Structures are given as C-alpha cells and as structure tokens.
Structure 1
Amino acid sequence: MDKSRLEAFTDGVIAIIITVMVLELHVPHGDDLHALLGTWHQFVVYLASFVTVAVYWHSHHYLFSRVQTVSRATLWLNTMFLLALSFFPFATAWVGDTNLIALVPEQLYGVVLLIADVVFTLMVASILRNGANPILTTTLRKSEWSITGNVVAIGVGWIWPPLTLIIDVLILTNWLLPDRLLLRKDNQK
C-alpha cells in the first residue's frame, strides 16, 4: 500500500489532537494577572503535551520518509498509535485541572504516553520487518529507551505525582537531540 494516504490521515488527526488540547485550556476566573497566574499549571501541562505530540509527529514524519510502502500490520499499528495519541487532550486537561499533584491524573498521563510509545515501537519494528532501511534500528532503540523511561516515570509518580510528568518531559530530550549516525546518513543523500 502507498504510504501517502497514511501520512495525510496521520497529519490530519494530529492537527485535530493539538487543536483539541488548546481548547481545553480554561479562561482564568478574573481579569487580572493574579487570575492568569493561577492557571500556570494548565499551561505547563499543555506545553508538555504539545511538545510531546509534536515530537511524535516529527518522529512519525522521519520514520515514514524512509518507507516506500506500508503493510497491513503497519497500517493497523499506525491507527492504534493515533488512538493512543487521541487520549492526550483528555489526560492533559485532567492533569491541568489538578495543579499537577494528583496521583491518578498523573498516572493516567504516564500510561497514555507509555501506550503511545509501545505502539510506536511496534510500528517501527513492523516497518523494519518489511525491509525498511536498517538505519531505523536507531529509532527502534530510542523507542525502547522511552518505554523504559515511561515505566520508571509511572513508578516514581507513586512517590510524588509530578515526577511522572517531569520524567516524561526529560525523556523528550532523547528525541529532540539529533542522532549523529542519522544525520550523517541524511547528508549522504
């Protein structure tokens, strides 16, 4: 199957997810700076979620730029990946409404991220099984590292709930820093 329809559908769904997340930001109760500052936690979790979804979109774009066709399994895994991402607006809004210190909303946020990482990892593995460039094994390793980090984030969140979000944001640096091997391969094109 040609990859263009999968990419277009994914781009559209991710754009909607980001739009819904911003719609969940609540207007402050009041008309002064103090009222605005009272909603700081909503902006923090929104920013973390926006960057997370953006990193997923960039990673997805990079992944499929190295693929010519997609298998049925990859198509279904991509659909499951979008399902996982579609829970970000709900989890973001719930954490934002609880001042970042409630256990269950933070744990749910971590679980949503963990599920998205697991499905993304399965999708990368499926693409590699279908004969994609072995350079994508670097992406697979990053995904596996992210899963481990998410499990740790959920675990330590039981000690202090904000650690779940803090560690999940730190995991993003793994994806924001470019891999030298991949950059070297990109320059050879």
Structure 2
Amino acid sequence: MNKSRIEAFSDGVLAIIITIMILEIKAPEADSFESLKPLIPIFLSYVLSFIYVGIYWNNHHHMFQVVKKIDGSVLWFNTILLFWLSLIPFATNWIGSQSFATIPIATYGFILLMCALSYLMLQNKIIKLEGKESVLYQAIKNDKKGKISLVCYILAIPLAFFSPIISGILYISVALIWIIPDKRIENQIHTI
C-alpha cells in the first residue's frame, strides 16, 4: 500500500481539528478589553490544544518519513489515533468554558492519554510490520519522552479531583517536553 494516502488523510483531519477548535472561540459582543476577560480560559485551552495537535502532526510526519510499508492494520491504527485526536476540540471547549474545572480537566487528560496510547499502538504496529531493523525502531527504542508522557497523564487524571491546577501543569509539562523538536528519527536517517 502507498503511504501517501494515509499521510494526506491524516493531514486533512488534523487541519479540520484545528479549524474546529478556533471556530469554538466566539468573539465578544462588546468592543472593550474588559469583554475579552471571560475568553482568557477559552483562549488558554485553545493554545494548549493547538500545541498538542501540532506536536502530533509533527511526530506523525516524522514517523511516516521513515515508514517503508503499511497494511490494512496500520490504516486502522492510524484511524484510531485520529479518532482520539478528533475529541480534542470537545475537551478543549469544555475545559475553557468551565475554567479548568475538575471533570473537564480529568476528561481532557483521559483524551490526551488515549491519544498517546493510540500513537504508541500505531508506532508499534509499524515496527511489527517492518521489524526491529527498521529506522523507526532504531530511533525510538529508548522512548523516555513517551514513557514520561504516559506517567504524567496517568497521574494527572486522578489528580484533577484534588487539584485541577496540578493536572494542568502536568499537561503543560508534557507539551513542553514534546515541543522541542524530536531529532531521534532525523538522527537515525543521517546514520543510514
């Protein structure tokens, strides 16, 4: 199977996800700076989610740069990833409109956890298909950032019931460790 279709479809879905998120932000009816104040939590949730979607797009792009073959199961694992990513606009809107309240922030964390797990499943499926000699496996075999991310999400979800702020800090921390471009795949390409 040709991987260009999966890349094009994924790019399209991610572009729509970002579009949906910005369309959820309604301009205030008044023309004052004061009227923007209620939008601050909504805008902050948008910024965080935009960064997350950008991180997934970036990593998805890098991963598929080195993928040599795909099959039907890779298509389905990619679809599962896109499903969880497509829920980010819902969670973004909810945490923003509820000023980062407990249940919305825990739900946001659950969706982020499922995005991370589905990305990991997609990655593992590709590695299973291509083997341990593949560029992808060699690049990510010691995936510290991925493991740290999963631990942070798993901790942040129950922590939201005690301190939504701490959960939010954990989500921001994960975004910060991934916002720095991941050079593992690029470094592996240069060694070939």
**Do the two structures share a fold, i.e. TM-score over 0.5?**
yes
Residues 10, 179 of structure 1: alpha-carbon distance in 2 compared, 3 angstrom cutoff: closer
Task: Give the letter aligned to residue 150 of structure 1.
Answer: Y
Matched, 1:151 2:150: no
Corresponding residue for residue 123 of structure 2:
124
- CA gap 1:181/1:18 in 2 versus in 1, 3 angstroms: closer
Moved more, 87-96 or 34-43: 34-43
56 and 179 in structure 1: CA distance in 2 versus 1, 3 angstrom threshold: closer
Aligned to 1:91: 91
Structure-2 change in CA distance of 1:139 and 1:53 (3 Å): farther
Q: Structure 2 counterpart of 1:117, which letter?
A: A
Q: Structure 1 residue 149: deviation in Å?
A: 1.3
Shift in Å at residue 144 of structure 1? Answer: 3.0
Aligned to 1:168: 171
Over aligned residues, Cα RMSD in angstroms?
1.8
Residues 1:184 and 2:183 aligned together: no
In the superposition, relative to structure 1, how do residues 12 and 98 fare at CA in structure 2: closer, same or farther (>3 Å)? same
Tell me how far 1:139 sits from its aligned partner: 7.6
Whole-Å separation in 1 of the counterparts to 2:36 and 2:179: 30
Structure 1: where are the runs of 5+ without partners? none
Distance 1:16 1:141 in 2: 30
Normalising to structure 2: TM-score of the pair? 0.90
Compare 44-53 and 137-146 and name the one that shifted more: 137-146
Partners of 2:25 and 2:43 within 8 A in 1: yes
Note the C-alpha offset of 1:180. 5.6
In the TM superposition, what whole-angstrom CA distance separates every residue of 1:52-109 from its partner, at most 9, and x where no partner exists? 0000000000011010221222111100000001101111011110112x11111111
**Deviation at 1:135?**
2.2
Give 1:70's aligned residue: 70
Question: Could you tell me the percent identity over the aligned residues?
Answer: 32
Aligned-residue offset at 1:3: 0.6
Q: CA deviation at 1:116?
A: 0.5
Letter of the structure 2 residue corresponding to residue 13 of structure 1: V
